[in-house]
Amino acid sequence: MPNTSNEDFALQQYDELLRIKPKDAELWAGKARVLKGLNRLEDELACHEQVLIISPKHEKSSDRTLEILVGSGRKNEANRFYAYLLKYDENAVDKFYNAIERRAHHCEESEKDFQQANSCYDWALEVWPNYLQALVSKITLYAKFNKKQEALDFCDIKIRQSSKEAWPWYLKGVLLNMLGEHKEALSYFDEAARITPDNNTIRGKTIALAALKDYAGAALVLEVAMRDSFSGRDLNSVQDLMWLGKLQAMAGFFGSAVETYGRALEISPSNKDAWLEKAKLHKQISDNSFFSWRQHSKALNCYWEFKSLGGEPQGDLENLIKARKTEMYRKICAGIGGTIIGGANGTLIAGIASLLYGWQPPVDIGLSVMKFGALVGAVVATPICYLIEELSDKNACGLSLAGSAVLGNGALFWGLLGAGIGFAISDSTTAINGVSATSVGGAFLGGLIGTWVGALPGAVLLSEKDGRSLYGAFAGAGALG
């Protein structure tokens, strides 16, 4: 047995203080806490009674009194105390029902006593006839204890008694959903909606449609209801928006689902689940998209928000981070390789021209063609290089060399084309010297400008609003380069 000497001493101290201050509510509440530890419920109740005489709105004492009376099954006393509580506590209904439901759950889960649990819901329905939450809990209890026919009979009785009201039709629809009879459940939800459109009915109908794998139909029903004004809890809550986003995603409406999760995040920016689902959607869109880089960036931005809120690492998104890092290194290598290859090709031709004709590049034509080669080489080589990236296997090692070759030789080609212009307006020596200047300037500077100078503003555009990811910026730089 536990050592009660400390509790006994505490009780003596409280008794002495209460002789001095008999109207001190907190002293009575303190004594009640000690008695609770000793499991002396009757004495504890007496203390809480004194607290409420002194301070009728004392929340902790009223809550504990309700818990003791309901938990010990003292129905009449609990009902009388509930009538008292209604005068002082605006949340009295919720508190009383929650206390009854906790007792029902205890009977159901700990004692496996169907009769006692069922009697608790009957108690609630005596206090609040046709209280929907108690009715749903009661049929849920029937279903859990495999009392299907009793549950169906109960719902049918309620329909006969109140056939012109929506709630009994809704109740049977909920039961049929639980029993897996979703097609039949839809007819009951439709009848309930015909009598009185209600948000609860809308939710039940979407659950039935989703169970029948009509995700598009369920999403449409919920979207239409969100635009209308029905009774009951607002359908535009975070919970309902999350459900709508899930339905849209399962129906393949990925773009709409992203927008819906965005609406949920406007209401609750710290909702981890919404950030995670949005990240997964962006990744899924990227898997089916020709230009995947932007969706990858959005997916990772959402995933970083999810992790910053304490979310657990997700394997597929962690792999995406690794893939993006690998892609960054490839594209940087492609850009550098393109510059080197272009410069090497140009230098080779310039060297041959220098040996055969001497190094005398004409300044006027040479500089003009060099600028032309750099500009056009960068502009034309950029999309070609990126298209090769998109069309090829993203894990192929040779992709970097392909991008390098396109970038470098693209600049070289346009540089040589510029030299051809020089040949058309000058003699052969000038043209060859133009080739020399164009090879070095057009190829080397074309690759350099295309990779780095042209890529820097693009990096800001491709790495989302705030450019938070350094390697996202480099990936964007590589893409434009």
Tens digit of each residue's pLDDT (9 = 90 or more) over 118-136 = 999 999 999 999 899 999 9
Instruction: Find out whether 42 and 68 touch, Cβ atoms under 8 Å.
Output: no
Which is more confident, 415 or 27? 27
CA gap 79, 326 in Å, rounded: 68
Q: What is the mean pLDDT of residues 51-68?
A: 92
pLDDT of residue 434: 47
Entry field: residues in the chain: 481
pLDDT at 10 over 80: yes
Which is more confident, 383 or 28? 28
Instruction: Find out whether 417 and 446 touch, Cβ atoms under 8 Å.
Output: no
For 91-147, where are the alpha helices, taking DSSP H only?
92-109, 114-127, 132-144
Q: What is the mean pLDDT of residues 308-313?
A: 85
Three-class DSSP category at 198: strand
pLDDT of residue 453: 41
pLDDT at 344 over 70: no
Of the candidates 198, 239, 202, the residue with the CA atom closest to the CA atom of residue 223: 202
Of the candidates 369, 366, 384, the residue with the CA atom closest to the CA atom of residue 450: 384
Residues in contact with 454: Cβ distance below 8 Å, sequence separation at least 6, in sequence order = 378, 382, 480, 481
Please give the structure tokens belonging to residue 435.
């080739």
User: With 0-12 CB in 10 A as exposed, 13-18 as middle and 19+ as buried, what is 407?
Assistant: buried
pLDDT at 305 over 60: yes
Of the pLDDT bands very low, low, confident and very high (cuts 50, 70, 90), residue 6 is: confident
CA gap 19, 9 in Å, rounded: 16
pLDDT at 471 over 90: no
Which is more confident, 363 or 157? 157
Residues in contact with 129: Cβ distance below 8 Å, sequence separation at least 6, in sequence order = none
Of the pLDDT bands very low, low, confident and very high (cuts 50, 70, 90), residue 1 is: very low
Of the pLDDT bands very low, low, confident and very high (cuts 50, 70, 90), residue 218 is: very high
Which is more confident, 199 or 432? 199
pLDDT, the chain, mean: 74
Of the pLDDT bands very low, low, confident and very high (cuts 50, 70, 90), residue 348 is: low
pLDDT at 112 over 80: yes
Torsion of CA 289, 294, 297, 302, to 10 degrees: -70
Q: Which range is least confidently modeled, 177-181, 317-321, 460-464?
A: 460-464
Query: What is the 8-class DSSP label of residue 465?
Result: T
Of the pLDDT bands very low, low, confident and very high (cuts 50, 70, 90), residue 292 is: low
Q: For 417-441, what is each residue's pLDDT tens digit?
A: 555 544 444 444 444 454 444 444 4
Which is more confident, 132 or 318? 132
